[in-house]
Structure 1
Amino acid sequence: MADLLRAGTGRRVLAVVLALLALQLGQLAAPAWACGCGAMVPGDAARVAVGREESVVRWDGAREQVVMRLTVGGDAERVAWIMPVPGRATVRLGDPALFEELHDVTAPVRRTRYHFWPQDGDWPLVSGDGSAGAPPPPPGAGAPVGVVGRQRLGPFDVARLTATDPGALDGWLDSNGFALPPRLTGALRPYVDQRWEYVAVKLAPQTTGAPLTGALDPLHLTFRTDEPVYPMRLSRLADTPQSLGLYVLAAHRMEPASPIGGERPRVTYAGRVTARTGPLAELAAGTPFLTAIGQEFPFPERIVGDHELRRAPADDPFQQVIHEDRLREVAGIPAWLLTVTGGLALAVATAAWFAVRRTRRPELATPPVQPPAPADRIDHPGITDGEDG
């Protein structure tokens, strides 16, 4: 028992970039200006953090829709994102309630699991405060840069661009108030070579001089694509580890084709959407299977490309289970303690019973000694009484 006691212990901002399939968690502070869905550019000498980035992507085999919401913090009044998308995109505001529904549907199931012997946190193996530890989210033809369209959506000033020269794209952004870090020009070249387009969004707080902070309005992008892909290449410019989460709505369960330089992707939820009303039911119509995927990128510089998504081998459902371990008790008393004390008591009682019985055991009686017969009564064979010997 003594050994057991010792054993226990994120003027407006150019923002966005959404792409196809995503949900992401990440922490970014200047000069970290890359995020999971594209490149983020804070103002001069400012710090900005993406505390949470969530995206849900719907792919029906021909079109992709991406709804993204950012939660930001820091002291930046101007922030910028730019994101490549594989086709001509339309942009509108999304429904914030979509994410609340996704959280509810994909939340882990909590179950109680009982254990018999005490673990760390149970008496008498209490360490620290005695609490158990918790076992974590996209015509100017011939011109080097073309402006497809520009629109105002709530706090967002959205520009949709084409480019045939990464340097010209860099110059357009710079002349429009979005100076990009030098490394970004080279990072955009693969997308320029593939003739992708770009979504750029300016964003600013309602009050002049106030930093951007809190959850921003969601943006909803729609574009055509033959294969679902989540742009991750620009995330290799991040200075801090990246945490990616993807909500994917498709006809079947989906999975990344490769880790692209991060840890092994893990499915955190898989199942058919059963909601009949609400934003999730509306978005999932025709693509009823929801897959939630998480992945960590501890070394962003190792990211080698974009996430290509494919159909999983089977539409097996999956939901995380979080077990709450509890010590089994009987009337508030640990069952193990009752067992041990009861066993000891039984052993003591048994030993005492044997001891008492031993002390009361009767001694064996010694048979009496018969006295020898008188000499005159000794029988001699062959001699009858009264005859002389």
Structure 2
Amino acid sequence: MKIFRLLTPLLLAIVAVLCFAPAAWAFCGFYVAKADTKLYNKASQVVIARDGNRTVLTMANDFQGEVKDFAIVVPVPTLLKKEQVRVAKPQIIERLDAFSAPRLVEYFDPDPCAPVIFNRSLAQSAIGGAGGAGGVGGVNSDRSLGVTVEASFNVGEYDIVILSAKESGGLETWLRNNGYKIPQGAKQLLGPYIRSSMKFFVAKVNLDKFNQSGYEFLRPLQISYQSPKFMLPIRLGMINATTEQDLIVYILSPEGGAEITNYRTVKIPSNANIPVFVKNEFNEFYKSLFQTAYTKEGKRVGFLEYAWDMGSCDPCSADPLTPEELKEAGVFWLINNSSSNVPVFPNFGIPFVSSNVFISRLHVRYTRDTFPEDLIFLQTANRESFQGRYILQYPFQGELKCQAGKEYKRSLPKRFEQEAQTLAKLTNWDIQDIRKKMNLSVGNLTYSLWESFLSWF
């Protein structure tokens, strides 16, 4: 009990510091909203769980149209067997999206006439210490086209073949002859993968099984393999793209953050105080912010939107994923302490050897011209936390009769103008439009932003 009494004032002091001084301290605040993938008309999502040379790749399907027309061709570095392919629950990708999405938080200024008393050096010191069965019916070959069917099997609602090829024209012809609706221009983009001796994971929907499944939408496909290549093929997805495409990659690792090596990886602009009216326009705000940053950086860039240990979050836009959910997402190195048997990734035979999961969320907006190469990643040991985080700071609304209150009131116009300038810089919105929207009530007086700004002078 004595220990509790000694610690309580310190904990209160730390909370006061963190929650009342967002410019000085990195995190805290009340979570308000998130900028998830629903913001974008076309946003592909991929989950990569990787440890060493072992990879589990989960691909969300954003296919729009008749399922009978669905076809996916994915270059893979090795031959895949049926036990290395499964369907995953779509909720897993939704959970990862919600957990790692850029977020809006809000703070409320305390009464400057009743300041919280705390020991700053003590608080700084305390904070510093935190920080199936086979299914392969043999090898078939169409020698005239140079295409070999290495394996064929069914997984869930998908019919899958694994192909190797000697030339791109033959592969394109084989796909068309076998009922796959491949867009024009595939030959040119298939060539580099064939020259790299990569194989092709090809899937289409088995309509009978899909109709019997009871699912309304196609479920994500998940493949597991071992390869020193840590990459994601994106060029085939550009064949029939008429506009810019958004790609969100969630990389899960027992080590630390991941980055793109053949393009620049930069952090999305973050930790900015913006006007409180943005609370009702956060989706439009983030879309404008991303487009502005994308243009400013020259478009050939990947943005880091989130990097954090999966065991915590601050502030949390969604609960961290449970061990069971992480396994569904492909994390194969988790330890299950509740069982005496060491579990393995069900389709790969790899025991869970760690409980450590670090997530990196990378956002790429690309076209065929801006991203001529596939994405190549580098796994690092960097465990520095980062998030796209935007701050609403509400002024105190009570009476301000003391000297500190008067000084606080005089400081507000400058703060409001700074928030307006920051918002204009982040989004390229018109500064005059921003000022018109910034009507704030301070104490017993109501200010428009411009009046407040002029009164400051």
**Bucket of the pairwise TM-score, normalised by the shorter protein:** 0.5 to 0.7
The answer to whether the 8 A contact 1:72-1:214 is kept is no
Q: 1:171 to 1:141 in 2, by over 3 A?
A: closer
Deviates further, 154-163 or 100-109? 100-109
1:148-167 correspondence to structure 2 within 5 Å: 148-167=150-169
The answer to whether the 8 A contact 2:47-2:59 is kept is yes
Provide the C-alpha distance between the structure 1 equivalents of 2:242 and 2:64, rounded to a whole number of angstroms: 17
**Residue 230 (1) aligns with residue 221 (2):** no
| Counterpart in the other structure of 1:266 | 303
How high is the sequence identity, in percent, across the aligned residues? 22
Helix, strand or coil for the counterpart of 2:197? coil
Larger fraction in strand = 1
How far apart are 1:214 and its partner, in Å? 6.0
Provide the C-alpha distance between the structure 2 equivalents of 1:307 and 1:109, rounded to a whole number of angstroms: 26
| Aligned residue identity for 1:62 | N
**Residue 56 (1) aligns with residue 47 (2):** yes
How far apart are 1:181 and its partner, in Å? 3.6
| Aligned residue identity for 1:91 | V
How far apart are 1:154 and its partner, in Å? 2.5
Provide the C-alpha distance between the structure 2 equivalents of 1:91 and 1:328, rounded to a whole number of angstroms: 56
| Counterpart in the other structure of 2:86 | 92
1:212-361 correspondence to structure 2 within 5 Å: 215-237=217-239, 238-250=241-253, 251-259=255-263, 262-274=299-311, 275=321, 277-281=323-327, 283-284=330-331, 285=333, 286=354, 288-297=357-366, 299-312=367-380, 314-324=382-392, 326=394, 328-330=396-398, 334-335=441-442, 338=445
The answer to whether the 8 A contact 1:58-1:249 is kept is yes
Q: 1:97 to 1:190 in 2, by over 3 A?
A: same
How far apart are 1:273 and its partner, in Å? 2.2
The answer to whether the 8 A contact 2:43-2:246 is kept is no
Provide the C-alpha distance between the structure 2 equivalents of 1:258 and 1:294, rounded to a whole number of angstroms: 15
Helix, strand or coil for the counterpart of 2:64? strand
Deviates further, 245-254 or 257-266? 257-266
Q: What TM-score do the two structures reach when normalised by structure 1?
A: 0.60
CA displacement 1:48-95 (0-9 Å, x = unmatched): xx8543221111111211112213334574122211111122311113
| Counterpart in the other structure of 1:80 | 71
Q: Where does structure 1 lack aligned partners over 5 or more consecutive residues?
A: 1-22, 28-49, 117-138, 341-389
The answer to whether the 8 A contact 1:242-1:300 is kept is no
**Residue 71 (1) aligns with residue 62 (2):** yes
How far apart are 1:191 and its partner, in Å? 0.4
| Counterpart in the other structure of 2:96 | 102
| Counterpart in the other structure of 2:105 | 111
| Counterpart in the other structure of 2:196 | 194
CA displacement 1:237-293 (0-9 Å, x = unmatched): 322111111001122210001338943211111122225522215633346221110
CA displacement 1:164-192 (0-9 Å, x = unmatched): 22122112112211253441112111000
CA displacement 1:129-183 (0-9 Å, x = unmatched): xxxxxxxxxx569952111222222321111111122122112112211253441
Provide the C-alpha distance between the structure 1 equivalents of 2:192 and 2:235, rounded to a whole number of angstroms: 9
Larger Rg: 1
Provide the C-alpha distance between the structure 2 equivalents of 1:167 and 1:26, rounded to a whole number of angstroms: 38
Provide the C-alpha distance between the structure 2 equivalents of 1:315 and 1:174, rounded to a whole number of angstroms: 46
The answer to whether the 8 A contact 1:82-1:201 is kept is yes
| Counterpart in the other structure of 2:8 | none
Provide the C-alpha distance between the structure 1 equivalents of 2:246 and 2:323, rounded to a whole number of angstroms: 31
How far apart are 1:205 and its partner, in Å? 5.5
How far apart are 1:98 and its partner, in Å? 2.0
Provide the C-alpha distance between the structure 1 equivalents of 2:69 and 2:237, rounded to a whole number of angstroms: 20
Provide the C-alpha distance between the structure 1 equivalents of 2:204 and 2:229, rounded to a whole number of angstroms: 29
Q: What TM-score do the two structures reach when normalised by structure 2?
A: 0.52
Q: 1:26 to 1:140 in 2, by over 3 A?
A: farther
The answer to whether the 8 A contact 1:245-1:293 is kept is yes
Helix, strand or coil for the counterpart of 1:192? helix
The answer to whether the 8 A contact 2:101-2:305 is kept is no
| Counterpart in the other structure of 2:171 | 169
| Aligned residue identity for 1:88 | L
Q: 1:229 to 1:166 in 2, by over 3 A?
A: same
Helix, strand or coil for the counterpart of 1:99? helix
Provide the C-alpha distance between the structure 1 equivalents of 2:302 and 2:227, rounded to a whole number of angstroms: 23
| Aligned residue identity for 1:278 | E
Provide the C-alpha distance between the structure 2 equivalents of 1:105 and 1:156, rounded to a whole number of angstroms: 29
Q: 1:215 to 1:235 in 2, by over 3 A?
A: same
The answer to whether the 8 A contact 1:236-1:300 is kept is yes
How far apart are 1:313 and its partner, in Å? 7.0
| Aligned residue identity for 2:61 | L
Larger fraction in helix = 2
| Aligned residue identity for 1:245 | I
Between Structure 1 and Structure 2, how many residues are aligned? 269
Q: 1:147 to 1:294 in 2, by over 3 A?
A: same
